């Protein structure tokens, strides 16, 4: 049964929080959590732009997608990313150059701590699904190239419901897709805002702090946290049944 959301008072938030139990299913974020988006920097250099612009572009894409979701239905990730890229480069690149940068999403290398985490979940016989607001086919292509897709039962994309994470309904939709109770599904990510959304939705949250350094004071506390993704998974597996 999905948790009911009535008011946003701290007491109600605490009551919606899932108990710290070993998950039956794990949803794993894709971009930056599993794959190194920083690799896009070389593509920016290829088209005559500074490598550091990859980060402004990617964060702008996420911001715009979230804002569109707040306002109503969001456009597909590829369209949002293309518009964000145009803005980032101040409309100086040709369509061909934009394509070159955006096609880089299909060829991102894996994070070094991802395969050990996936292998541990496989040994524990816990099904894992990738969960992204990016295009499912792009994520599939990237995970195939990174050699990670064989560990995954499926790739779920919030594009199907015209949304970006982190609204509560997005996580509840994902739990329905994997046919598991919300409070027995864990969301594991390297973005604290993503884990925050999952915890607020009633899921178990696991945060890899390698991007942010620590858990911010402004988010719901994850059930487990560690710098490395494989350590996060180990701590999830150590939770009581």
Structural domain ending residue among the three candidates 52, 83, 105: 105
Alpha-carbon distances, residue 119 vs 29, 85, 124 (angstroms): 16, 35, 9
Do both 89 and 158 map to the same domain? no
Domain range for 49 is 37-105
Asked if 157 and 135 touch (Cβ cutoff 8 Å), the reply is: yes
- List, for the chain, all residue ranges whose pLDDT scores fall below the cut of 50: 1-11
Question: What CATH number does residue 116 fall under?
Answer: 3.40.50.1000
Q: What confidence score (pLDDT) does residue 204 get?
A: 98
Query: Does residue 5 lie in a domain region?
Result: no
Beta bridge partners of 225: 207
Do both 213 and 99 map to the same domain? no
Whole-angstrom distance, CA of residue 141 vs CA of residue 211: 24
Whole-angstrom distance, CA of residue 98 vs CA of residue 49: 11
pTM over 0.85: yes
Do both 30 and 42 map to the same domain? no
Q: What confidence score (pLDDT) does residue 15 get?
A: 60
Q: What confidence score (pLDDT) does residue 8 get?
A: 44
Query: Does residue 2 lie in a domain region?
Result: no
Q: What confidence score (pLDDT) does residue 16 get?
A: 81
Structural domain ending residue among the three candidates 55, 75, 105: 105
Helix 229-237 / helix 114-123 crossing angle, nearest 10 deg:
20
Do both 73 and 125 map to the same domain? no
């Amino acid at each position: 049964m999905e948790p009911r959301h009535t008011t946003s008072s701290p007491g109600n938030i605490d009551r919606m929080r899932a108990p710290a139990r070993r998950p039956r299913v794990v949803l794993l974020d894709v971009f930056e959590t599993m794959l190194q988006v920083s690799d896009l920097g070389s593509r920016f250099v290829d088209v005559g732009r500074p490598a550091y612009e990859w980060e402004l572009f990617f964060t702008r894409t996420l911001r715009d997608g979230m804002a569109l979701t707040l306002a109503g239905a969001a456009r597909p990730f590829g369209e949002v990313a293309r518009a964000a890229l145009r803005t980032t480069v101040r409309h100086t690149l040709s369509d061909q150059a934009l394509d070159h940068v955006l096609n880089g999403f299909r060829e991102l290398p894996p994070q070094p701590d991802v395969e050990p985490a996936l292998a541990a979940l496989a040994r524990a016989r816990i099904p894992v699904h990738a969960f992204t607001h990016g295009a499912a086919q792009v994520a599939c292509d990237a995970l195939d190239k990174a050699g990670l897709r064989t560990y995954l039962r499926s790739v779920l994309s919030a594009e199907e419901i015209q949304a970006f994470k982190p609204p509560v309904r997005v996580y509840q939709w994902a739990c329905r897709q994997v046919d598991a109770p919300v409070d027995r599904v864990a969301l594991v990510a390297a973005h604290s805002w993503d884990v925050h959304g999952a915890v607020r939705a009633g899921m178990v949250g696991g945060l890899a702090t390698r991007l942010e350094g620590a858990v911010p004071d402004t988010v719901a506390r994850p059930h487990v946290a560690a710098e490395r993704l494989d350590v996060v998974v180990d701590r999830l597996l150590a939770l009581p049944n």
